[in-house]
């Protein structure tokens, strides 16, 4: 009797009894039977890289409205769509990024608006200017029917969500807790906003006759029919000298505003005089920033090439670092509290660990002009820089070279760059009086992404990472078109660098051993550390 083997499958083996049952897949996963798997994945990686370049459309839109260079900007900590920007003509504008329109604008200062910041709850905006004043503004001064409706709906949704979150029996206690806190914080904010708007609308109806000349005509979307209500600062502080920078701390229980000018001043909302003033050296401060995590810590950069750290609990500055060239702006890593970055006049950005200031953690160099502004992504993994060379660059914190460069024909010198709080967008304010909205990942798809899509994106990203060192993939991934002047400047810089290196090498060669020591690039630009 001859045995004949036939293909036969039992239906029961392939029928799920429950929904959660996993269907058995007959597949041989032995790598030896898939010899071309690596090649296949390489091709996929290559295609993925190419597709990324194809879909790279980073500019979402440019928002015009300012009449002069946009010099300072801040992201509101309460909202993803609101963005405040200050111009050189003293104008302050609040933007709705989703609609790409101005919510309101006001002539905040006589002269430059040198600094803009949001408070911890994201309900207020502080500005400082060359007119020796610091002003504290409401972020949402107007009531709006539509806005109110929208707020109502959102609040309803959030409430539902909150209820669901409470009742949801998730296994992960931490996730549930975080979700709950997230929803509740949103709800709280929305409720506050709603209350504020109601209050404002009542107040406006009472004093509708006194309209302010400072409000602009193009904020129709945020006004009642009865005319523009006056926008007045909640608080105004007068200083002895022009202010160059302002920041608010993240401590909601003890809100403080810090300003930089001739010295670093700490302001309390309830007092008209600075609570405390710090000074170390007699030069003007370029930038002051509170640490978002260590809320009492703040740092400043000054035009005397120094970076100074202060503790609000102490009477004197803590530490001082002197570099070869002055830093224009600094920012703290929101996820690693002891790391900070500065944008320097020497065309580079430097990342430091504030515990070890003798050496930078990393030198980010690609710009060909002074770095005017720098900001961390909320994940703390990336850094965005705006430069005088009219480009915006995105750096990986651990990399020395930029992963992306954004530029347009019309964009002029960039004075302010900010990451959005959801890590999706970058806002830049430039000399051409425009605020531009960019995607943080140029090829990222906007809108709703299904789970399957996300998995596919993740897979492609992983493949790219895996084959990142293969020359062809690397070439396509790193190539970026750049303006001609930037390229030529880059070439010149390269020549200068190489010739300097060569000179140093020769000098070392013809000197006594050890007389010309090797100095790492990270240490080169640091002059001194004082404490």
Site residues (CB under 8 A) for other proteins? 27, 29, 31, 34, 37-38, 40-42, 77, 80, 172, 174-175, 182, 250, 292-293, 334-337, 378-381, 421-424, 446, 455, 458-459, 461-463, 466-472
The smaller minimum CB distance to other proteins, of residues 53 and 381, is found at 381
Decide whether 88 or 331 has the Cβ nearer to other proteins.
331
CB 138 → other proteins: shortest distance, Å? 20
Q: For residues 326 and 305, is the Cβ–Cβ distance under 8 A?
A: yes
CB 234 within 8 A of CB 176: no
Secondary structure, 3-state, 475-498? HHHHCCCCCHHHHHHHHHHHHHHH
Quick one: 462 or 528, whose CB is closer to other proteins? 462
| Other Cβ atoms within 10 Å of 176 Cβ, number | 15
Closest distance to other proteins from the beta carbon of 507 (Å): 28
Nearest CA among 375, 374, 393 for reference residue 486: 393
Which residue has tokens 């009219």? 390
Of 230 and 378, which has the nearer Cβ to other proteins? 378
CA distances (Å), origin 274, targets 131, 221, 236, 238: 17, 37, 12, 10
How near is the Cβ of 172 to other proteins at its closest, in Å? 7
- Of the pair 77, 114, the CB lying nearest other proteins is at 77
132 or 466: CB nearest other proteins: 466
* DSSP string across 341-378: EEEETTSEEEEEETTBTTS-SEEEE--SS-EEEEEE-T
Least distance to other proteins from the beta carbon of 353, Å?
16
Return the ∠ at Cα 253 (arms to 249 and 254), rounded to 5°.
50
Identify which of residues 175 and 496 has a Cβ nearer to other proteins in the complex: 175
- Coil, helix or strand for 53? helix
Judged by CB, which is closer to other proteins: 65, or 292? 292
Residue 76 · residue 83 · CB < 8 Å: yes
Measured over all CA atoms, what is the biggest interatomic distance in the chain, rounded to whole angstroms? 109
Residue 249 is encoded by which pair of tokens? 């701390």
If the CB atoms of residues 372 and 374 are measured against other proteins, the closer one turns out to be 374
Residues with Cβ within 8 Å of residue 406, at least 6 apart in sequence? 58, 59, 391, 392, 393, 394, 426, 428, 438, 442
Q: How far is the CB of 202 from other proteins (least distance, A)?
A: 30
Cβ-count burial of 333 within 10 angstroms (0-12 exposed, 13-18 middle, 19+ buried)? buried
Residue with tokens 């911890």: 120
Q: For residue 365, give both structure tokens.
A: 């160099």
Q: How far is the CB of 454 from other proteins (least distance, A)?
A: 9
Angle at 66 between CA 63 and CA 72, to 5 degrees: 90
What's the min distance (Å) between Cβ of 175 and other proteins?
A: 8
Q: Do the Cβ atoms of 129 and 225 come closer than 8 Å? A: no
* Pair of tokens at residue 434: 């425009």
- Beta carbon of residue 458, minimum distance to other proteins (angstroms, whole number): 4
64 or 472: whose CB is closer to other proteins?
472
CA 109 and chain centroid, separation: 25
In angstroms, the CA 359 to CA 528 distance is 10
> Which CB, 31 or 513, lies closer to other proteins?
31
Cβ atoms < 10 Å from Cβ of 396: 16
- d(C-alpha 186, C-alpha 144), whole Å: 19
Nearer to other proteins, 257 or 486 (CB): 257
Q: Compute the least distance from the CB of residue 198 to other proteins, in Å.
A: 25
User: Least distance (Å) from other proteins to the CB of residue 162?
Assistant: 16
CB of 221 to other proteins, least distance (A): 21
Q: What is the DSSP letter of 248?
A: E
Q: How far is the CB of 96 from other proteins (least distance, A)?
A: 15
């Amino acid at each position: 009797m001859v045995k004949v083997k036939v293909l036969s499958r039992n239906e029961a083996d392939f029928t799920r009894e429950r929904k959660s049952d996993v269907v058995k897949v007959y597949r041989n996963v032995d790598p030896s039977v898939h010899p071309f798997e690596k090649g296949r994945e390489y091709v996929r990686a290559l295609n993925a890289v190419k597709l990324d370049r194809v879909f790279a459309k980073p500019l979402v839109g440019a928002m015009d409205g300012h009449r002069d260079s946009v010099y300072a900007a801040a992201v509101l900590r309460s909202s993803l769509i609101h963005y405040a920007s200050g111009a050189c003509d003293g104008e302050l504008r609040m933007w709705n990024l989703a609609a790409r329109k101005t919510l309101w604008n006001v002539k905040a200062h006589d002269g430059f608006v040198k600094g803009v910041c949001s408070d911890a709850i994201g309900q207020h905006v502080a500005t400082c200017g060359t007119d020796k004043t610091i002003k504290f503004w409401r972020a949402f001064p107007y009531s709006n029917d539509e806005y109110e409706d929208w707020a109502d709906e959102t609040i309803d949704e959030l409430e539902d969500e909150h209820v669901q979150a409470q009742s949801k029996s998730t296994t992960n206690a931490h996730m549930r807790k975080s979700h709950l806190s997230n929803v509740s914080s949103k709800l709280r904010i929305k409720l506050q906003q709603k209350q504020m708007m109601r209050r404002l609308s009542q107040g406006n109806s009472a004093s509708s006759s006194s309209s302010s000349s400072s409000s602009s005509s193009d904020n129709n979307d945020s006004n009642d029919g009865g005319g523009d209500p006056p926008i007045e600062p909640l608080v105004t502080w007068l200083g002895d000298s022009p202010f160059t920078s302002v920041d608010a701390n993240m401590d909601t229980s003890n809100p403080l505003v810090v300003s930089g000018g001739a010295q670093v001043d700490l302001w309390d909302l309830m007092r008209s005089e600075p609570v405390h003033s710090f000074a170390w050296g007699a030069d003007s401060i370029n930038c002051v920033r509170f640490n978002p995590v260590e809320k009492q810590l703040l740092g400043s950069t000054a035009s005397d090439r120094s970076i100074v750290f202060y503790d609000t609990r102490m009477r004197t500055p803590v530490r001082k670092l002197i570099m070869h060239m002055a830093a224009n702006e600094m920012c703290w890593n929101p996820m690693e509290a002891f790391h900070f970055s500065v944008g320097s006049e020497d065309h580079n950005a430097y990342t430091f660990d504030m515990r070890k200031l003798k050496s930078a953690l990393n030198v980010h160099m690609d710009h060909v002009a002074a770095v005017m502004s720098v900001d961390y992504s909320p994940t703390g993994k990336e850094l965005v820089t705006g430069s005088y060379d009219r480009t915006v660059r995105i750096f990986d914190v651990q990399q020395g070279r930029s992963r992306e460069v954004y530029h347009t024909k019309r964009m002029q010198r960039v004075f302010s760059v900010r990451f959005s709080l959801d890590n999706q967008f970058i806002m830049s304010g430039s000399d051409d009086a425009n605020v531009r909205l960019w995607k943080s990942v140029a090829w990222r798809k906007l809108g709703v992404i299904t789970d399957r899509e996300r998995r596919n994106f993740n897979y492609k990203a992983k493949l790219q990472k895996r084959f990142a060192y293969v020359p062809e993939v690397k070439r396509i991934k790193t190539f970026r078109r750049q303006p001609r002047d930037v390229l030529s400047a880059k070439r010149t810089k390269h020549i200068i660098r190489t010739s300097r290196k060569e000179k140093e090498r020769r000098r070392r060669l013809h000197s006594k051993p050890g007389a010309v020591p090797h100095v790492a690039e990270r240490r080169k630009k640091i002059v001194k550390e004082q404490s």
